[in-house]
């Protein structure tokens, strides 16, 4: 996943350090290969290293957050709404990204 935080000197230094430090290597991998959804307990995991999205203990809280996000996406006519609603479909994200790229290029 390309983003500003992976384009600079700091990230390149992390990549280099990850060649010899497994902890840094795992953090680099997280930045390079994000998952569609993440849910963290920042009080107990302030560095957001343990994604709890699949933990059944948080199912109700995750559903509340999903609904809040969907409400916001609907109110703001977020173009990612459909991709969010279809987030478990393997091609939904890819299709959304193709649409965004075409939109950016003015196609």
Name which of 8, 31, 7 is nearest 18 in CA terms. Answer: 31
Q: What is the pLDDT of residues 11-66, one digit of tens each?
A: 889 999 999 999 999 888 877 777 788 999 999 999 888 999 999 999 999 999 99
Residue 27 corresponds to which tokens in the numbers above?
Answer: 């953090």
Ramachandran class of 48: left when φ > 0, alpha when ψ lies in -120 to 50, beta otherwise: left
| Model-wide pTM > 0.85 | no
* Predicted pLDDT at 71: 97
pLDDT band at 5 (very low <50, low <70, confident <90, very high): low
């Amino acid at each position: 996943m390309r983003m500003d935080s992976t384009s600079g000197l700091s990230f390149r230094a992390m990549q280099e350090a990850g060649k010899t430090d497994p902890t840094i290597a795992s953090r680099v991998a997280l930045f390079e290969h994000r998952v569609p959804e993440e849910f963290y307990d920042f009080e107990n995991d302030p560095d957001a290293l343990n994604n709890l999205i699949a933990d059944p203990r948080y199912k109700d809280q995750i559903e509340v957050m999903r609904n809040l996000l969907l409400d916001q996406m609907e109110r703001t006519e977020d173009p990612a709404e459909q991709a969010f609603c279809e987030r478990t479909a393997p091609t939904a994200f890819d299709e959304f990204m193709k649409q965004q790229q075409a939109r950016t290029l003015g196609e």
